[in-house]
Amino acid sequence: MTDVKLALDEVHALVVDTLMRCGCDEENAAAVARVITAAERDGCHSHGLMRLAGYAATLKSGKVNGKARPRVEQIAPAVVRVDGDGGFAPLALETGRQPLVDCARKNGIAALALVDIYHFAALWTEIEPLAEAGLCALACTSYKPAVIPAGGKKALYGTNPIAFGWPRKSGNPVVFDQATSVVARGEVMLAAREGHQMAEGVGVDADGNPTTDPNAILEGSLLAFGGHKGSSLAMMVELLAGGLIGESFSFEAARRDNNDGGPPQGGEFILAMDPGMFGDAEGWLDHSELLFEQIAAQEGTRLPGDRRHANRERNTRDGISLSQAVYDKILEL
């Protein structure tokens, strides 16, 4: 099977055209397209064009408001809230980003609560702009039950990713984005699509039996990384992105979802901090570089995000390759 070669602007245009044909207006479609294009650019294929069918499904089913207009509210000196108006998360995030930055620079620390959104993307695309603005930031969001709590038998938590970003004196910020499950569900979906097996210890089938078959894991459940440690972090995400901001827990989101193949309605929590306002205004940047230098000095190590940025440079120049079968499926949307 031959591959289709696409420049990044062609990826963006393909996503915008697809979503607008499915019911999005241009503003919402372009915001989603920026996220999907960034994922493909950085080699994060599990959150790139593979997700487009899910976005389209939610528009066709009427679950998502493709013409959403997010609303920003300052509900406390250091708390910004964005009501996503039942739309996809990217436009709501873009709407709330500058108010969050301004609030953090004024107070030293600020939180952004996003509610009534449909989140279906990687978190690093949301954290990186904050780190580039000179803030350190943390973000988390939940999903539908896909992960068994430690010692349990039934999925209760979402994969519940956590992302963190730290500014650099020069060059790219350090940003990591990781699920609290052993792997992100998108990686399992990608393996199922491409016919690959998963490693042992990733998940179980519908009967609770360990399996390396990605299709069986998708029908069953994922496991939290590190046993009870990952399970505790998954619970923390449920509380921050659900209980704290008045949004749904994963099991509540699942109860009202129509299972059209796209994301459920839920929320997201972001915390941003201005390191210059924590008592070391002159030295924090140089001091943190010492840690990064020590990490990089060890053979075989790399800083989080290094591989993404290498992919970014190459794919920005050369474009991306997409299988003809996947491309044809996108055109069918």
Residue 166 to residue 223: CA distance in whole angstroms? 28
> 67-80: b or e for each residue (b if 16 or more CB lie within 10 Å)?
ebebeeeeeeebbb
Nearest to 268 by CA among 98, 83, 38, 108: 83
Per the domain annotation, does 82 fall within a domain? yes
- Among residues 12, 40, 45, 46, the one annotated as catalytic is 46
Domain limits for position 123: 3-181+224-281+306-332
Per the domain annotation, does 272 fall within a domain? yes
Tell me the two tokens of residue 178: 């990781």
Per the domain annotation, does 25 fall within a domain? yes
Per the domain annotation, does 298 fall within a domain? no
* Axis crossing angle, helix 52-60 with helix 8-22, rounded to the nearest 10: 20
Does 45 participate in catalysis according to the annotation? Answer: no
- With H, G, I as helix, E, B as strand and everything else as coil, classify residue 115: strand
What integer pLDDT is reported at residue 61 of this predicted model? 97
Per the domain annotation, does 54 fall within a domain? yes
CB 137 within 8 A of CB 165: yes
CB 139 within 8 A of CB 100: no
- Among residues 40, 47, 238, 252, the one annotated as catalytic is 47
Query: How many folded domains does the chain comprise?
Result: 1
Query: Per DSSP, which regions of 1-119 are E strands?
Result: 3-6, 71-76, 79-88, 109-118
pLDDT tens, the chain, 333 aa long:
578 999 999 999 999 999 999 999 999 999 999 999 999 999 998 899 999 999 999 999 999 999 999 999 999 999 999 999 999 999 999 999 999 999 999 999 999 999 999 999 999 999 999 999 999 999 999 999 999 999 998 999 999 999 999 999 988 999 999 999 999 888 898 899 888 999 999 999 999 899 999 999 999 999 999 999 999 999 999 999 999 999 999 999 999 999 999 999 999 999 999 999 999 999 999 999 999 999 999 999 999 999 999 999 999 999 999 888 889 989 998
Query: Per DSSP, which regions of the chain are E strands?
Result: 3-6, 71-76, 79-88, 109-118, 136-141, 147-148, 162-166, 174-178, 203-204, 210-211, 221-223, 265-273, 320-323
What integer pLDDT is reported at residue 185 of this predicted model? 85
Nearest to 104 by CA among 57, 167, 156: 167
Per the domain annotation, does 292 fall within a domain? no
Kindly tell me the burial class for residue 53, based on how many C-beta atoms sit within 10 Å of its own C-beta (0-12, 13-18, 19 or more): middle
Predicted TM-score (pTM) of this structure:
0.94
- Among residues 187, 238, 247, 268, the one annotated as catalytic is 187
CB 222 within 8 A of CB 147: yes
Can you give the CATH number for the domain in which 147 is found? 3.30.1370.60
Residue 178 to residue 162: CA distance in whole angstroms? 6
Per the domain annotation, does 191 fall within a domain? no
Per the domain annotation, does 208 fall within a domain? no
What integer pLDDT is reported at residue 1 of this predicted model? 55
